[in-house]
Amino acid sequence: MRYMSSADGHGARHTVSMDASTSRPHVVILGGGFGGLKAARALARAPVRVTLVDRANHHVFQPLLYQVAAASLSGPDIAAPLRHIVRRQRNITVWMEDVTGIDVAARRVQAGAQTIAYDYLIVATGSTHAYFGHDAWAEFAPGLKTMNDALAIRRRILSAFEAAEREPDAAKRAGWLAFVIVGAGPTGVELAGTLAEIAHHTLPREFRIAQPRKARIHLIEAGPRVLPAMPETLSATARRKLERMGVEVHTGTAATAIDAAGVRMGDEHVPARTVLWAAGVAASPLGAQFGAERDRAGRVKVAADLSLPGHPEVFVIGDLAWVEQCGQRVPGMAPAAKQMGAYAARVVRDRMAGRTAKPFRYRDFGSLASISRSSAVVDLRGLEFSGFAGWLFWLFAHILFLIGFRNRLAVMWNWAWSYMTWQRNARIIVGRDRTQ
């Protein structure tokens, strides 16, 4: 660990490395999501030392996080320890630590009590929830970005049905059986669809007083349609399907107040004890450390090779990067992050070999969203389809990209079981939080 010193207040013990292995350039990657992990793996055979830092010990397959929140999958089904994923890659060290500061002038990262010097830095710390200036809403309307978020949302959803069962007052019971999802992008649509399935199919037989069938699920969206990034025909299909499942879709409707009692939207107040946030995202706060230009969501403007202007040794990738191509933003999606991760790793290798890298080019393969247990919408930029065929495509795409053979089998098995029985396999409530 010669490239690292303890934080001793003055940095004097910092970083002198002489032996052969440590004379290799040190690439530090912040964040083990899709972008950071891809970059790490793409450097497997490069003559560098890599340190991958993440505050969690695991990589999460985010597209299925909503299924953990909805108790269909257990956390370990869609996550794997980062150090397990890269265990065969001898040039990598994995650190589970919070990164608290980046000093681009001194080429140092502060991670917990320690300072890490780098030769190249790849920042892939992603995004977090944004409440459009209403930070007080966070307490009442949790968002879904991390495994801890998913488990907290699962706890709230399941606990709401439990509270309804105990509640003797009918009006209060209705509040426990009302769910509002704010934001109708893919996450909002998937949460609404799966909540409808839970309420109307999984739970009814098991409750005696509460009637889960009477649960109301509201999906509200400030824009004119659900899945705004998709073609209009697929939006219309998704909306029709959701409504047939009993989801109440409110488009052109913004939340104007959220508290423990429910959500105000325009003149209407919807009493609901469970509100989930799937609306805004903001770039990771680390983006503020560079003093670089940023957009309103905090994304960092990068050069054509994804490097920080004035700092060719620093790359910003994934949801944290503001990249434009043909006048359009590259979207904050897993495939884009992976492409950027692979690209940044290639630039590092090229530079070391004295080659000049071509500018980054995003290849857009499309997007997809699941609506129910046998329906999804798929937009492959030119080819659009939905329904059962869409769902099969969704299924195989997700199984294919899930990391780890064991996870693939486990998820397929859980899905098959749920499909046959309508059951949710992970309906256990652990931990406690304020609202319960």
Which position among 1, 16, 229, 304 is part of the footprint of its own copies (CB under 8 A)? 1
Binding its own copies (rule: CB under 8 A), the pick from 70, 151, 345, 371 is 151
- C-alpha closest to that of 80 among 91, 66, 69, 94: 94
- Residue 176 engages its own copies in binding (rule: CB under 8 A): no
Tell how strand 120-123 and strand 262-265 pair up: unpaired
Contacting residue, 87, 213, 244, 358, with its own copies by CB under 8 A: 87
DSSP codes, 239-272: HHHHHHTTEEEEES--EEEEETTEEEETTEEEE-
Of 372, 307, 383, 380, residue with least CA distance to 346: 307
**Other beta carbons less than 10 A from residue 381's beta carbon:** 11
- Segment interacting with its own copies, rule: CB under 8 A, options 127-135, 189-197, 324-332, 426-434: 426-434
Nearest-approach distance from CB 413 to its own copies, in angstroms:
7
Listing DSSP states for 204-219 in one string gives GGG-SSS-GGG-EEEE
Q: Could you tell me the smallest distance in angstroms from the CB atom of residue 47 to its own copies?
A: 17
Restricted to residues 93-112, the positions that interact with its own copies (CB under 8 A) are 93-97, 112
Smallest distance from the beta carbon of 312 to its own copies, in angstroms?
28
Whole-angstrom Cα distance, residue 370 to residue 116?
41
Q: Is residue 293 flagged as an active site residue?
A: no
How many residues line the site for its own copies (CB under 8 A)?
A: 54
Whichever of 293 and 433 has its CB closer to its own copies, that residue is: 433
* Distance of closest approach, residue 29 Cβ to its own copies, in angstroms: 15
Q: Does 431 bind its own copies (CB under 8 A)?
A: yes
Task: For residue 9, state whether it binds its own copies (rule: CB under 8 A).
Answer: no
- How many C-beta atoms surround the C-beta of residue 23 within 10 A? 12
CB of 266 to its own copies, least distance (A): 34
Tokens at 377, concatenated: 């919408």
Q: How far apart are CA 365 and CA 335, in angstroms?
A: 8
CA distance 27 to 351: 13
Minimum distance of its own copies from residue 344's CB (angstroms): 22
State the sign of the Cα–Cα–Cα–Cα dihedral 379, 420, 61, 68.
Answer: positive
Tell me the HSE value of 313 on the side-chain side, using a 13 A CA sphere: 16
Least Cβ distance, residue 314 to its own copies (angstroms): 23
User: Does 11 engage in binding with its own copies (CB under 8 A)?
Assistant: no
Per rule CB under 8 A, is residue 74 in the interface with its own copies? yes
Contact call for residue 416 and its own copies (CB under 8 A): no
* Angle separating helix axes 232-244 and 186-197, nearest 10 degrees: 20
Of 97, 139, 165, 190, the catalytic one is 190
Which is nearer to its own copies, 145 or 299 (by Cβ)?
A: 145
100 or 148, CB closer to its own copies?
A: 148
DSSP letter at 434 equals T
Residues 203-262 close enough to bind its own copies by CB under 8 A: 205-209
SS3 202: helix
Considering only the stretches 123-131, 156-164, 176-184, 388-396, report the one whose residues sit in contact with its own copies under the rule CB under 8 A.
Answer: 156-164
- Asked whether position 315 contacts its own copies by CB under 8 A, the answer is no
Confirm or reject binding of residue 168 to its own copies (CB under 8 A).
yes
CB neighbours (10 Å) of residue 260?
A: 12
3-state secondary structure of 129: strand
Residue 229 tokens read as 């990034």
Question: Does 28 help bind its own copies (rule: CB under 8 A)?
Answer: no
**Quick count: other Cβ atoms within 10 Å of Cβ 174?**
18
Which residues lie below 8 Å from residue 89, measured CB to CB, with a gap of 6+?
40, 41, 44, 50
Residue with tokens 């490395």, as numbered in its chain: 17
Interface positions, 184-213, toward its own copies (CB under 8 A): 205-209
Active site amino acids: 190
Which residues are near its own copies by CB under 8 A?
A: 1, 4-6, 56-58, 74-77, 79-81, 83-84, 87-88, 92-97, 112, 114, 147-148, 151, 158-159, 162, 165-166, 168-169, 205-209, 406, 410, 413, 417, 421, 423, 425-431
